[in-house]
Amino acid sequence: MLVMSAPTLSTAKKIVYPDSDGRPMADNTLQFQYIVTIEGGLDALFRHDPNVFVAGDLFWYPVEGRPDICVAPDVLVAFGRPKGYRGSYKQWEEGGIAPQVDFEILSPRVRHGELRRKFEFYQRYGVEEYYVYNPDGEWLEGWRRVGDVLQEIPQMQGFVSPRLGVRFELVEGKLQLFGPDNRPFATYVELTEQRDRERQRADRLAEELRRHGIELPP
């Protein structure tokens, strides 16, 4: 007699959670610059905390078994999750922790309906703080979770994120973020220029000391 065995988990169809939708991270250089600067600034801000994960343009899947329920925030921050490589953020593999803070940097082609869907997604799946900046329209909006809902922050100018400790400023319509030390987030080029200026000042000081017969140790 032929005995048929029941299908095992190994032979069951595997659910695929894509790491990409094939679309570019940004639609233009300005949007890309803001995404990279914010992600890099936050990563640097929490570099000494091994349990703060920061990522840019990473798919977030909140529900196991539902790869159709996902979104890719331009920047996300998850407190209580270790740093490290991920192809996507699968919440059930992250201790059930949703990213607490999300950023969206808009492109000219974004549609109101898409923004509305993202807002509803973030509200439903537990985001605590949500920030949207439009570099072309030069406007900034933010929401904080109060109870079960995200409530709009009435004044973003000078607002300090409770989770991040980061201050938001619009300077002539341009978004600028400041860390708890009051230092602004900067692009890589700006950081390089700052380092070069500091090196030049150090060289001038060393030269001045040498003229007075003082040699600094190597």
- Please tell me the CATH superfamily of domain 29-185, with its number: tt1808, chain A (3.90.1570.10)
Q: Which of 147, 172, 143, 138 is nearest to 156 (CA)?
A: 143
Residue 48's alpha-carbon distances to 17, 93, 169, 182, in angstroms, are 31, 23, 25, 18
Amino acid letter, 34: Y
> pTM value?
0.83
Three-class SS state of 109? coil
Residues 6 or more apart whose CB falls under 8 angstroms from that of 67 comprise 15, 16, 17, 18, 61
Q: Which residues contact 14 (CB under 8 A, 6 or more apart)?
A: none
Q: Are 129 and 161 in contact (CB under 8 A)?
A: yes
**Domain range list for the chain:** 29-185
pLDDT tens-digit profile, the chain (218 residues)? 333 344 444 444 789 999 987 777 678 899 999 999 999 999 999 999 999 999 999 999 999 999 999 999 999 999 999 999 999 999 999 999 999 999 999 987 777 788 899 999 999 999 999 999 999 888 999 999 999 999 999 999 999 999 999 999 998 889 999 999 999 998 766 666 666 676 767 556 656 666 766 776 66
* Residue in the block written with tokens 């905390």: 49
Report H helices in 68-187.
112-124
Contact 107, 31 (CB under 8 A): yes
Q: How many CB atoms lie within 10 A of CB 171?
A: 9
